Amino acid sequence: MASRIYNFNPGPAALPLPVLEAAVEGFIDFKGSGMSVAEVSHRSALFEDVLNDAVTRTKRMLKLPDDFMVLFLQGGASLQFAMIPMNLIPPGTSADYINTGTWSTKAIKEAEILKKPHTVIASSKDRDFKYIPKDFSITPHAAYLHITSNNTIKGTQWQSFPEAGSVPLVSDMSSDIMSRVFDPKPFGLIYAGAQKNLGPAGVTLVIIRPDMLERVPDDIPTMLRYTTHSEKNSLYNTPPCVAIYLVQLVLKWLEETVGGVEAAERMNREKAGLLYKTIDQTGFYQGTADVDSRSLMNVTFRLPSEDLEKKFVAEAQKQGMGGLKGHRSVGGCRASLYNAVTLDAVRTLVSFMGDFEKKNG
């Protein structure tokens, strides 16, 4: 078996080794059934136990109120960009959006395509999305305020969430769900593609408050209604069973091995702090996000030249560190520090950065 590298990929991203080992066993013979988890019926008690355990652990670790619904859907966060305005902007109302990068821009575009009334109340586009806006006024009685909690490409993150009063918050938390503690009660809906902090690509976590379900119209396609999935416990049609199984294993690992979201946050702050300290103490590496908007999950930085960046990524790969190339739209370098990325991985990266600077600075 080939040795595993330190995986800094932005998504699909690192998964805990104990999860992968458990998944291998379940993929051959799931709980003594004589079948793979990929073969058992999604209507069976075997699979429903997996699904219900994932729901229960999500509620427990995020401290969700009992009546919040936890759904596992398909189509990625990108489908949620359209489902949210389709379901949650009733006639005669308008939604607010704050644009902090590529994924916010895509979410806004879907509202535009659907011709759903909306207002972009703030944007950091004026400085190439290097910061999280602080000055904005939420429209009274807006259907919701949509934000992207963490921006993987630009390396920015909401340090605290907007206080929106009676306006429900809606957030794309694809890249920082389960990475830090927050109060879920102001959120009408939270969604997260699994492939960063939760599991593999192919399933999307949706958390929805019951009052939001009351808005869902009956004149949109059945599969695009949140009520369709909430009424059937995510089992209206065949769900992505293997992906949900892996999410359940990740949640079990996070709760029972790591110690829950609180412990994960402490670990994530230590990892990010170590890497940002390395960047800040030198003129060779330059962080790209404003200090007060920096992400704990995606640390973005540049080197003095693009040639050096290519060399940095290539040499890091040779030394067992993968996924450090920045997004193709912005270039540079990026280290994604999701829950499954260990402190040892970050220490190894920091040591490499010091050596690389000595040789090339």
- Residue 116 bears catalytic tag: no
User: Using DSSP, how many helices (H) and how many strands (E) does the chain show?
Assistant: 10, 14
Residue (of 346, 191, 203, 206) closest to 269 by Cα position: 346
Question: Beta strand pairing status for 169-172 and 187-193?
Answer: parallel
Q: 184: how many CB neighbours lie within 10 A of its CB?
A: 16
DSSP assignments along 282-297, one per residue:
-SSSEE-S-GGGB-SS
Please identify which of the residues 116, 130, 196, 325 carries the catalytic annotation.
196
135 is written with which tokens? 């000055």
Residue (of 297, 323, 299) closest to 179 by Cα position: 297
- Torsion from C-alpha of 64, 70, 74, 80, nearest 10 degrees: -50
User: Which residues have C-beta within 8 Å of that of residue 165, sequence separation ≥ 6?
Assistant: 138
- Residue 103 bears catalytic tag: yes
- Residue 128 bears catalytic tag: no
Please identify which of the residues 96, 154, 172, 176 carries the catalytic annotation.
172
User: Would you please indicate which residues are annotated as catalytic (active-site) residues?
Assistant: 103, 172, 196
